[in-house]
Amino acid sequence: MDGVRVGNRMIGTTAPVIVGWDNIGTVEGGPIKQFVFRWFQPTMLFALIAFWYYAPNSIAKTSTAIGIGIGFKVMLLALEWVNPRYESWSLTWKELVTDLFYVSLGYTVLAMIERYIGSDAVIEAVQHSFDWSKLAWFIGLPLLLQAFLISFIFDFGQYWMHRGMHNWYPLWLPHSVHHYITQFNINKGAVGNPVELFLIGIGIGGFFDFLPRAALLAGAMGLAVGTYQHINVRFNSPRWWRFLFNTTEHHSVHHSQDFEASRSNFAGTYIFIDRMFGTCVDGEAELLGLEGGRRMSIREQMTYPFTEGWKAIKARWGKAGSSEPLVVPAE
Amino acid sequence: MTGLMRPGPFSPAFSSHPNATPDGKAVHTRFIEWIWHITGSLALTPEQASKAFDRLAPLFHQPGTSHETSGDTLTFHKKDPASQDKMSVFNSGVLRIENAQDGPVLRYRLVSRALLYCFLAPLMFLAFAQVTVAIGKLEGASKDAAAEKPKEKDVVLPQNPIDRFLGAPAPEKPKKKKGDDEDKKPSPTASYVFAALFAALYVAGRLLEDWLAKRLFRKSLSEA
């Protein structure tokens, strides 16, 4: 495969990747369908922002956000059925059950662990020792600016964490499991080794039913943009949306079987962070995964980082002749 | 074709049973096997019977799938099948062409660990719910013993004039309500919800995959 030059890199030399917005697929159907799948994402974003901006204090709380998040995902699940991006990504019973198993971990086991040693414990510590007067300058900013700053700073951190996962073997091991998915569906974002899910704080965090309104707005921005990362829906998103925000097309390039393409589009919400650091590739891919698209079982996903980590330790410090790790990040 | 008029898959002598021991005796799990085994049969025309395995062969030419045809019996095994594999829900199976009284019949027994695990998942979540309740009780006991914390001071939170002009509600710190501590106990609700969800998914999957397998075989056999 020849590949396409993007900056200093050749994309699509080892697996097919479509580069450029003019070359990707578009929504097929009448004018109403075209309209809906062009404006759905911006409409939902502005609707969610308006809701959290004006919601009375009595309902502007985390439990409401969790309820909206679940309802939104169910709606997107229906959209996958109505207008799939690739038939080869159709949701089967097995895929649905597997995805929901990982979702259930987030709501049960991981939520319990986070309560004691994860993000919930951190939030509790912050809330207990929070001196509101010291943050008055921030709380006094316009609400939407506060929300954007929270969301952007969080995503900026996630960008470097994610990029680090693709560049440093100990972090790559727990993250690599997520890259064994061979198709996109709305709940695929939850698929991964629990160590990684814990590291990036996917736990639900519903224990504390109070968060500042700006944080809830920031969460809504993440929900209305980041949720689409793993969706199997064909959108004709407006150009400005694709310039600013991470899309399922961007993320499919990141999950591509092409090694160089998989080292692109690290941001979760704001793709312009990738544009800032030269890691953005506009396009899409259908063939996803590692090792030529081998689907990993749940059992292997649970043990893989540890078994591969052990192999790597033995290879470096153990007796000679140990096997090399299968999947190694570059740099 | 050889070996016609053999006993069916429900017979103890169906020696290619996936749970059969090396000496050919079926392990006595028959009464619960319906949980993760899908069995069925399809009537064949004599012409379909002679070409049945050739027509079904593309289903087993998939990554991670091995299969073997021996006379009137086809056995297959799958390891990490791709999501796009139409039979990815099954780990192994046996298909056999038999000559029944009304003519040739394709009988099959397909084994799915995904169905088994989905059947067991509600039990796991119910167990986790009990663990959650127990942790809540332990926490409750330790909190009762702890000293009461001093009352927090009321703080007026600032609001930007733009937000006030646009009509956003004024920010406020949450008031301490009676029963807040009770709310902070770990809740088993999520576990109960997922137990029910996986139970429903099991029933749906058991019926759906049975129907899909039959439809897939019928479609493949009817293709010229």
Interface of A with B in 187-206 (CB under 8 A): none
Spatial CA neighbour of B118 closest among A97, A227, A273, A256: A97
Residues of A in contact with B184 (CB under 8 A): 207
Contacts for A123-130: CB closer than 8 Å, 24+ residues apart? A123/A205, A123/A208, A124/A207, A124/A208, A127/A208, A127/A210
Give the chain A residue nearest B86 (alpha carbons): A92
Interface of A with B in 237-266 (CB under 8 A): none
pLDDT at residue A42 tops 70: yes
pLDDT at residue A184 tops 70: yes
Give the chain A residue nearest B149 (alpha carbons): A128
Subunit contact B162:A142, Cβ cutoff 8 A: yes
* pLDDT (average), residues A33-52: 96
Mean pLDDT of chain A: 87
pLDDT at residue A253 tops 80: yes
Calculate the CA B47 to chain-centre distance.
36
Of A147-156, A195-204, B41-50, B156-165, least confident by mean pLDDT is A195-204
**Residue A182 forms contact with B (CB below 8 Å):** yes
Tell me which residue in A54, A101, A295 faces B83 most closely, judged by beta carbons. Answer: A295
Q: For the sheet containing B65-70, what is the strand order?
A: B37-43, B103-111, B92-100, B73-78, B65-70
Subunit contact A132:B80, Cβ cutoff 8 A: no
Subunit contact A96:B194, Cβ cutoff 8 A: no
So what's the pLDDT on residue B12?
38
The answer to whether A96 and A104 are in contact (CB under 8 A) is no
So what's the pLDDT on residue B171?
83
Residues of A in contact with B159 (CB under 8 A): 140
Higher pLDDT residue, B118 or A133? B118
Q: Specify the amino acid at residue A117.
A: I
pLDDT at residue B223 tops 80: no
Residues of B in contact with A209 (CB under 8 A): 174, 183
Percent of chain B whose pLDDT exceeds 90: 49
Give the chain B residue nearest A87 (alpha carbons): B84
So what's the pLDDT on residue A203?
40
pLDDT at residue A280 tops 90: yes
The answer to whether A28 and A20 are in contact (CB under 8 A) is no
The answer to whether B37 and B17 are in contact (CB under 8 A) is no
Of A26-40, A184-198, A218-232, B150-164, least confident by mean pLDDT is B150-164
Residues of B in contact with A210 (CB under 8 A): 173-174
**Residue A109 forms contact with B (CB below 8 Å):** yes
Q: How far apart are CA A191 and CA A20, in angstroms?
A: 28
Subunit contact A108:B183, Cβ cutoff 8 A: no
Residues of A in contact with B189 (CB under 8 A): none
**Residue A291 forms contact with B (CB below 8 Å):** no
So what's the pLDDT on residue B15?
44
pLDDT band for position B74 (cuts 50, 70, 90): very high
Residues of B in contact with A205 (CB under 8 A): none
* ipTM reported for the complex, 2 dp: 0.83
Residues of B in contact with A97 (CB under 8 A): 114, 118, 198, 201, 205
Mean pLDDT of chain B: 81
First to last CA, chain A: 23
pLDDT at residue B20 tops 60: no
pLDDT at residue A282 tops 90: yes
First to last CA, chain B: 20
Of A323-327, B103-107, B120-124, least confident by mean pLDDT is A323-327
Reading the block at residue A320, the tokens are 């000679």
**Residue A33 forms contact with B (CB below 8 Å):** no
Subunit contact A183:B83, Cβ cutoff 8 A: yes
Q: How far apart are CA A25 and CA A34, in angstroms?
A: 13
Higher pLDDT residue, B25 or A206? B25
Give the chain B residue nearest A57 (alpha carbons): B169
Give the chain A residue nearest B198 (alpha carbons): A97
pLDDT band for position B18 (cuts 50, 70, 90): low
pLDDT at residue A221 tops 70: yes
Residues of B in contact with A143 (CB under 8 A): 160, 163, 168
So what's the pLDDT on residue B46?
87
- The secondary structure of residue A102, as a DSSP letter, is H
Task: Write down the H helix ranges in A166-288.
Answer: 169-176, 194-199, 213-226, 239-244, 248-254, 272-277
pLDDT at residue A201 tops 80: no
Interface of A with B in 114-173 (CB under 8 A): 115, 132-133, 136, 139-143
So what's the pLDDT on residue A116?
75
User: A-B interface: how many C-beta pairs under 8 angstroms?
Assistant: 108
* pLDDT (average), residues B96-115: 93
pLDDT tens-digit map of A87-143: 999 999 999 999 999 999 888 888 887 777 666 666 666 666 666 666 778 888 899
**Residue A183 forms contact with B (CB below 8 Å):** yes
So what's the pLDDT on residue B11?
41
pLDDT at residue A240 tops 60: yes
pLDDT at residue A25 tops 50: yes
